[in-house]
Structure 1
Amino acid sequence: MINDSINIKAQTEVFDVVIVGSGAGGGMAAYTLSRAGVKVCVLEAGQNFDPADPKNITQLKWPYESPRRGASTTRPFGDFDAAYGGWDIDGQPYTRKSGTTFDWFRSQMVGGRTNHWGRISLRFGPDDFKRASIDGLGDDWPIGYDDMKPYYDRVEKLIGVFGTNEGLRNDPDGQFLPPPKPRLHELMIMKANKKIGIPTYPSRMAMLTQKINDERGKCFYCGQCGRACMAYADFSSSSVLIKPALATGNTTLITHAMAREVVTDPTTGLATGVSYVNTLNLQEYTVKGKVVVLAASAGETARLLLNSKSSRFSHGLANSSGVVGKYLNDSTGASRSGIIPALFDRKRYNEDGVGGMHIYTPWWLDNKKLDFPRGYHIEYGGGMGMPGYGFGWGIEGMNGKAEFSKNGKAKAAGGYGSSLKEDYARYYGASIGMSGRGEPVVREDNYCEIDPNTVDKYGIPVLRFHYKWSDYEIKQAKHMQDTFEEIIHAMGGIPNGKKPGPETNYGLAEPGKIIHEVGTARMGNDPKTSVLNSNCQAHDVKNLFVADAAPFVSQGDKNATLTILALSLRTSEYILDQRKKGNI
């Protein structure tokens, strides 16, 4: 059942479980619990979203079909992207402490960020859970890879992930569908990387290269997964988890419900429900539940806990340790592009493939021999996608080396008419790009807190961020740039523009820009230094759980979503076990 403005205040039902958030973690919790017969209520701050609904379909449309020609004036990645939200949302500010930077991306829609993510699905490996034991930096997780492996197996079978088993120790094998074949630029990257000793493998991504059930179609290689798939061939929580959860009849979904705080019993301290503001009528309501699961994203979960103050929890709910909001960390990121003269004047054919890379490079070096302690993986782009005007043209684009047209005249970027058409024909499909996504070293002094002076348009106090990269991350970005340039040269290519240097931290993206933030409610065995136990259950409140990326102790050099899904499945089954035993 879906409700936009249900009057929960007048409703007497007490749900078995109330879940805040419908993304990867919230969707998996709703799916798992409702299929076990549990009565679930899901609160979602944004609107309902089904990529197969005709009013939402943006696949297979041209830029000129948008009033803004596909520009990002309405949505953060362009009009046709399945992202309702962004880094800045009108009336919903966040602040930063002086001298620091953090950009917070929020996706307010059923399914959250899973509607438009890159769908890169990498397992954390054995080392990722025990980094402190390896290099003495940060903390170990209270669980290890062996605890997570069966849940990774089940999640991959459920959502569908393609890839190949390569026997890599810290990039573990999985339950994979066949990967798509590499395209021409990817074959060239693989050849160049083999020559310089950089391993390259088929990507591991959540798109269906084979049909796995009657509810979802097979990928038809339009290359537009960021628009969300009308055939449900890519994984989104909205279509793969929330939709079947609703079909059980055990899930009530309330959209336009901006959670304000977790309500607790003043005598027992147990959670009794969640109060929220209906974003359509600005009225406040409360939904009651025997168990509360927070899955609103690492930042929003911290905000909810810190705003849930009472005489019993004066510093915020589940915060006797004082670490709610602390140990926030986002993936590092740096990128480079180049142009490959061998690909000029390419023959045109359809090579769209899946929406993203067909190959990737996992971390391949020993950090003990380097001047930074954590690794990164490399994501590759290129090929004959939708043309982007101006890319790789002119003397500046050729890094000081003039490119000449067929009539022998030096070319500059720009132009129109026949000159523009000639440029497109010559350079189309000749550019490549690569991005590193790496692990930072987690620090207590990277955190979010409640800003005492600012509220959003719903009257809810907002987050204030404090975040700085350390020398470790800057040195890692330098290594990325050196590697990117080496790969481009090995391909016989020419890097675009000036190589990023120390004045820009070697092109290291500002914190938050990679949209992989984790931490803020870390798990651990000691209640004095952690918020949750190894089952993502609050030390201070036994019927309160967290099912997003907030429990992460560290980031890993992997994307977080697959681990969010696996952790949420594990936590949900623990909730079922504890309910059966009468402990919650």
Structure 2
Amino acid sequence: MAFEIKKQAKLYDVCIVGSGAGGGMTAKILSEAGLKVALLEAGPKYDPADPEQATQLKWPYESPRRGASTTRPFGDFDAAYGGWEIDGEPYTTKNGTAFDWFRSRMLGGRTNHWGRISLRFGERDFKHKSYDGLGDDWPISYQDVSPYYDKVDKLIGVFGSKENLPNEPDGFFLPPPKPRLHELMVKRAGEKMGLPVIPARLSILTRSVNKDRSPCFYCSQCSRGCTVYGDFSSSSVLIKPAMKSGHVDLYTGAMVREVLTDDSGKATGVAYVDKSDMQEYSVNARVVVLAASACESARLLLNSKSAKHPNGLANSSGVVGKYLHDSTGASRGGFVPALMDRKRYNEDGVGGMHVYIPWWADNKKLDFARGYHIELGGGMHMPSYGFGFGLENMNGKYPGRDGKPKAAGGYGASLKDDYRRYYGAYIGFAGRGECIAREDNYCEIDPNVVDKYGIPVLRFHYTWSDHEIKQAKHMQDTFEQLIVEMGGIPSGTKAGADTMYGLENPGRIIHEVGTTRMGDNPATSVLNKFNQSHEVKNLFVVDGGAFVSQADKNPTWTILALAWRASDYIVDQLKKQNL
């Protein structure tokens, strides 16, 4: 060790690394069971109701940069401490491939600034290999996870509607908000095309679920963190009540270096660097739970080498870091003349879409495997600095009041008139699809690079396959057809093969999973069906790393359900003295 480790005297039942969806849920369930928990977070405390941290209900002009480059990845007021690039915390790529790795350094992690799209995986999503022969089946089924999806729905709250669609499981839903005007137009266009346009499923309260949280008041600013806890964030909904139990000690600014083990190879705790003094400390526990995100947890395991674990902890299979995959993403926007010259009224609604399009097609009739859902945006949300008409790529022209093309630009009363005319007349579509998990997409330890804490960093190798590229082409064709069906004009030039049809860089959708995947065979997986390491029985991983495959859904609801399931298993195994 390059550092002297200062040991904490206290012995915990469980040490949890990471406070996002998986870590927060695990802390809540285990603390309620009476276990003594140490919860470690690399970033600071965060509470969106704290006046010193709150950014909700601020005007665009209150930004100290007044529209210049933001210090946060999604805007000055967004509840995101971190980003794809963090000073002093590099990562690298291999063989010219690309991967953008988002790290969230704050209590609650990424759950503070996600879209709250809360979708269950369906029966087919757990058994894709049985349907199309690609990838691997999960060692569990929808029936195994369904009771925990139910619990998550009831604890956290999610709005939606029962639709009885294949592979889109219904849940326990709060009433959904009414569609906005542009969403009604999308619904009409979608119906003509045979697409299901249904109420979105977001973990935002349209009515109360408990006394500690108030319903959404429709300011449309969920990404800023909710001062009344009307939306789901781990920091507000899971960790806050867990702390009230008196059974959780929170360590913030704790950059975990490795999992510590004894001579038998059993986990005994973790070593971390305290950011406040740059000294190294340890936390000791009977059980270690990693929930630092799929790649960060893989990094910890790979850096945790010992005589018993020369290839990294829980990695005798060599699978840790492999089968990394992120959701696909592509987008397109357009101008809809029918939405011009609208009366001003408040249609903010929740901080996200009120309707969405789940996957509808039969992949057996297509030239690619796996599907995608469509998210949409538009409407008369709060303008910000840089607000335009969404027409920048339409040859610099747009319809004037006389019906003839008019050059963009101008000043004074004419410019203000244009802004008012075109405000709310832009629509945008984004596809979020499933990538097939492959062994040759992976992260590993870079042998030559360390971060500012002296911890070896990750090196990524990632490529898209023809399945993902063809899926993106299908997205672009669908987006364009939707815009035209709405009577709109697609913006710019349709993305083609030269850009892989507008596919975002892998990692850019921030849905990466699979690096410590579960399975029944220890030779081809890291965890068993309860998120427990095959070879280190008192080690668990409860973030997206456990996923065998992603779906055409966002992963958060499944992370939450599996973390609750694993927590129940930990309580049971501790009672039986099996850990």
* TM-score, scaled to structure 2: 0.98
1:491 aligns with 2:486: yes
After superposition, give the CA deviation of every residue in 1:333-361 in whole Å (9 maximum; x if it has no partner).
00000110011111110000000100011
For the residues of structure 1 that align with 2:398 and 2:70, how far apart are their CA atoms?
33
Which residue of the partner structure matches residue 138 of structure 1? 135
Q: Is the 8 A contact 1:392 1:496 kept in 2?
A: no
Residue range with higher mean Cα deviation, 449-458 or 192-201:
192-201
Residue pairs, 1:208-357, within 5 angstroms: 208-266=205-263, 268-357=264-353
1:373 to 358, 369, 373: 369
Q: Is the 8 A contact 1:393 1:411 kept in 2?
A: no
After superposition, give the CA deviation of every residue in 1:380-424 in whole Å (9 maximum; x if it has no partner).
111001225464466x543x5942322566423333322321121
After superposition, give the CA deviation of every residue in 1:210-234 in whole Å (9 maximum; x if it has no partner).
0111100110000000001000000
Q: Is the 8 A contact 2:434 2:550 kept in 1?
A: yes
For 2:331, what is the secondary structure of its paired residue?
Answer: strand
Which residue of the partner structure matches residue 171 of structure 1? 168
2:468 to 469, 473, 485: 473
Give the residue type in structure 2 aligned to 1:285. Answer: Y
For the residues of structure 2 that align with 1:72 and 1:547, how far apart are their CA atoms?
35
- Offset, 1:98: 2.3
2:399 to 404, 411, 414: 404
Which residue of the partner structure matches residue 408 of structure 2? 413
After superposition, give the CA deviation of every residue in 1:94-151 in whole Å (9 maximum; x if it has no partner).
0000220000000000000000000000000000000011111000000000000000
Q: Is the 8 A contact 1:393 1:412 kept in 2?
A: no
1:13 aligns with 2:31: no
- Offset, 1:10: 5.3
- Offset, 1:12: 1.6
For structure 2, the residue ranges without an aligned partner over 5 or more in a row are none
Residue pairs, 1:547-558, within 5 angstroms: 547-558=542-553
Give the residue type in structure 1 aligned to 2:46. Answer: F
For 1:436, what is the secondary structure of its paired residue?
Answer: strand
* TM-score, scaled to structure 1: 0.97
For 2:349, what is the secondary structure of its paired residue?
Answer: coil
- Offset, 1:169: 2.2
Which residue of the partner structure matches residue 109 of structure 1? 106
Which residue of the partner structure matches residue 4 of structure 1? none
- Offset, 1:439: 0.2
Give the residue type in structure 2 aligned to 1:222. Answer: C
For the residues of structure 2 that align with 1:412 and 1:26, how far apart are their CA atoms?
53
For the residues of structure 2 that align with 1:69 and 1:324, how far apart are their CA atoms?
44
2:512 to 508, 512, 517: 517
Q: Is the 8 A contact 1:33 1:576 kept in 2?
A: yes
For the residues of structure 1 that align with 2:409 and 2:451, how far apart are their CA atoms?
43
- Figure out how many residues of one structure are paired with residues of the other and give that number: 575
1:423 aligns with 2:429: no
Moved over 6 A (4+): none
After superposition, give the CA deviation of every residue in 1:364-389 in whole Å (9 maximum; x if it has no partner).
01000000011000001110012254
For 1:26, what is the secondary structure of its paired residue?
Answer: helix
For the residues of structure 2 that align with 1:97 and 1:84, how far apart are their CA atoms?
27
Go from structure 1 to structure 2 and tell me whether the alpha carbon gap of 1:312 and 1:114 turns closer, same or farther (over 3 Å shift): same
For the residues of structure 2 that align with 1:522 and 1:71, how far apart are their CA atoms?
42
After superposition, give the CA deviation of every residue in 1:498-537 in whole Å (9 maximum; x if it has no partner).
1111111100111000000001000000000000000010
For the residues of structure 2 that align with 1:203 and 1:565, how far apart are their CA atoms?
19
Cα RMSD after superposing both structures: 1.4
After superposition, give the CA deviation of every residue in 1:37-94 in whole Å (9 maximum; x if it has no partner).
0000000000000000001111111111011135552110111000000000000000
1:535 aligns with 2:530: yes
2:91 to 94, 97, 107: 94
Which residue of the partner structure matches residue 67 of structure 1? 64
Give the residue type in structure 1 aligned to 2:15. Answer: V
2:187 to 185, 190, 194: 190
For the residues of structure 2 that align with 1:210 and 1:92, how far apart are their CA atoms?
41
For the residues of structure 1 that align with 2:172 and 2:67, how far apart are their CA atoms?
36
- Offset, 1:434: 0.7
Give the residue type in structure 1 aligned to 2:203. Answer: A
- Offset, 1:195: 1.0
For 1:457, what is the secondary structure of its paired residue?
Answer: coil
Give the residue type in structure 2 aligned to 1:305. Answer: L
For the residues of structure 1 that align with 2:557 and 2:379, how far apart are their CA atoms?
27
Sequence identity (%): 69
For the residues of structure 2 that align with 1:182 and 1:237, how far apart are their CA atoms?
27
Q: Is the 8 A contact 2:8 2:281 kept in 1?
A: no
1:31 to 28, 31, 35: 28
Go from structure 1 to structure 2 and tell me whether the alpha carbon gap of 1:219 and 1:244 turns closer, same or farther (over 3 Å shift): same
For 1:141, what is the secondary structure of its paired residue?
Answer: coil
Q: Is the 8 A contact 2:390 2:491 kept in 1?
A: no
After superposition, give the CA deviation of every residue in 1:154-199 in whole Å (9 maximum; x if it has no partner).
0011111000011112010101100000000000000111111111
For the residues of structure 2 that align with 1:371 and 1:11, how far apart are their CA atoms?
57
For the residues of structure 1 that align with 2:13 and 2:355, how far apart are their CA atoms?
43
For the residues of structure 1 that align with 2:404 and 2:200, how far apart are their CA atoms?
41
